[in-house]
Structure 1
Amino acid sequence: MAGHGAPTLAVEGAGQLSVVVLASRWHDTVMGGLLDGARRALTESGVTDATELRVPGVFELPVAASRVATRGGVDAVVALGVVIRGGTPHFDYVCLAATNGLTAVAERTGVPVGFGVLTCDTEQQALDRAGLPGSVEDKGHEAVTAALATALTLADWPRP
C-alpha cells in the first residue's frame, strides 16, 4: 500500500494561512472525494482563507498554480486531479507535464504546492485513493496537509 509509512504532519498554527485549491474537472466521483478530503483537512487545520478554482484537466493545473502563486498573499497551493492510463502514450505526457509544471511553480515562486494528482492504471486505483467510503487512502487530505506543513516550516524564510 502506498500510504504505508506516511508521516504524521503537524499543522498547528495554520489558521492564518491563505490557501488556493485547484481541481481538475475530469472523473467527477474521484474529484468529489479528493475535494471533500481537501476541505476536511482545511477545516481541521483551522484555515478559513481558502479558495477553490476548477480547471478543465490535469494539464491545466500548472498554469493555474503559477498564476495564483505569483499573485501574492497565497501561502500554499494544492493541485488535485486524476489521470487514468488509457491505450495511448497521452497518459505519460500529461502526468509528466503536470508533475514537472507543478514542481517548477513551487521552485520558482517559493510557494508550497501540495501534489494531489492521482496517476493510476485503473479507475479502481483512483477510487481507492480518493478518500471515498471504502477508500484506503485520502490523497486530497494528504495534499492539503503536506502543503500546510511545508508553508508553516518555511514561514520564517523569505521567498525567492
Structure 2
Amino acid sequence: MAVTHDDALARPSFDKPVKILIVVAPYYRAIAEDLLAGARAEIEAAGGSHETVEVPGALEVPSAIGIAERLSNFDGYVALGCVIRGETTHYDTVCNDSSRALTLLGLQGLCIGNGILTVENAAQAEVRADPAGQNKGGGAAAAALHLIALARRWGGSRKGVGFQPQGDEYQIASSSKGTA
C-alpha cells in the first residue's frame, strides 16, 4: 500500500525536460534497488531523464554531487543510500555529515532530494525503500523536481558551487593583462 499524504504537492510540470543525476550508495544493494526504482519512476512520470552513478558510501554521495555540478549539466540531483545503526558512533558521523553536506550544497543553489535512509534496522529500511510502501526514493526525486521547478520559476538554472568568474576572462593573480 502506497503511503499518501493529503497535503502532498502535485507533481510539477516543465516546459523543457529535466535531467537529473541519481547518486546512490549501494552498500545495502536490495534497499538501494528499491530506492532507485522509486526515484526513476517519479522522474520519468514528470517527463524527465536520469543518469545513475554509484559511490562507495553515503559520505561520498555529496562529493559526487558537487563534482557533477561543477563538471556536468544536470538540473538536479537525487541522493540515495541507507545507513543502519551499528554498535559504534560511526552511524552518527555518517548520518550527520552526509546530511549536512547535502544541505550545504542545497544552500548553494543545487536542487537536491535527499533519500539517504537513516534507520535502526533493516526492516525499517525495507518499508521506507519499498516503491509500493513509503517510497522514499520517489519522495527524494519529487523533492528534487519541486526544487528544479522553483529554480526555473525564479530565473533559470545557475551554477552555485565554486568560483564563478565575472566574465569570460581568467587572470592569474601574479600576472597582469597584456603580458605573457
Give the equivalent residue in structure 2 for 1:101. 101
TM-superposed deviation, 1:62: 1.0
Preserved contact between residue 114 and residue 143 of structure 1 (Cα < 8 Å): yes
Give the equivalent residue in structure 1 for 2:175. none
TM-superposed deviation, 1:5: 6.0
Preserved contact between residue 76 and residue 113 of structure 1 (Cα < 8 Å): yes
TM-superposed deviation, 1:4: 5.5
Structure 1 runs (4+) greater than 6 angstroms displaced: none
In the TM superposition, what are the counterparts of 1:64-79 in structure 2 within 5 Å?
64-79=64-79
| CA offset digits 1:96-144 (Å, max 9, x no partner) | 1100111111222x121110000000110000100255xx300000100
Q: Which has the larger displacement, 77-86 or 65-74?
A: 65-74
In the TM superposition, what are the counterparts of 1:18-33 in structure 2 within 5 Å?
18-33=19-34
TM-superposed deviation, 1:7: 1.6
Normalising by structure 2, we get a TM-score of 0.79
Preserved contact between residue 83 and residue 120 of structure 1 (Cα < 8 Å): yes
Preserved contact between residue 37 and residue 141 of structure 1 (Cα < 8 Å): yes
Give the number of aligned pairs.
155
Q: Which has the larger displacement, 13-22 or 77-86?
A: 13-22
Distance in 2, matches of 1:151 and 1:14, equals 12
Preserved contact between residue 25 and residue 80 of structure 2 (Cα < 8 Å): yes
Normalising by structure 1, we get a TM-score of 0.88
Give the equivalent residue in structure 2 for 1:54. 54
Distance in 2, matches of 1:156 and 1:3, equals 26
TM-superposed deviation, 1:156: 3.5
Higher alpha-carbon Rg: 2
Give the equivalent residue in structure 2 for 1:126. 125
Q: Secondary structure of 1:74's match?
A: coil
Identity of aligned residues (%): 30
Find the partner of 2:135 among 138, 146, 150: 138
In the TM superposition, what are the counterparts of 1:27-42 in structure 2 within 5 Å?
27-42=28-43
| CA offset digits 1:13-72 (Å, max 9, x no partner) | 276111100000210110010001111111111113x11110011011110011112235
1:111/1:157 Cα in 2 relative to 1: closer, same or farther (>3 Å)? same
AA aligned to 2:40 is R
Give the structure with the larger helix fraction: 1
AA aligned to 1:143 is A
RMSD: 1.9
Distance in 2, matches of 1:83 and 1:114, equals 17
Preserved contact between residue 34 and residue 131 of structure 1 (Cα < 8 Å): yes
Give the equivalent residue in structure 2 for 1:151. 148
TM-superposed deviation, 1:157: 2.9
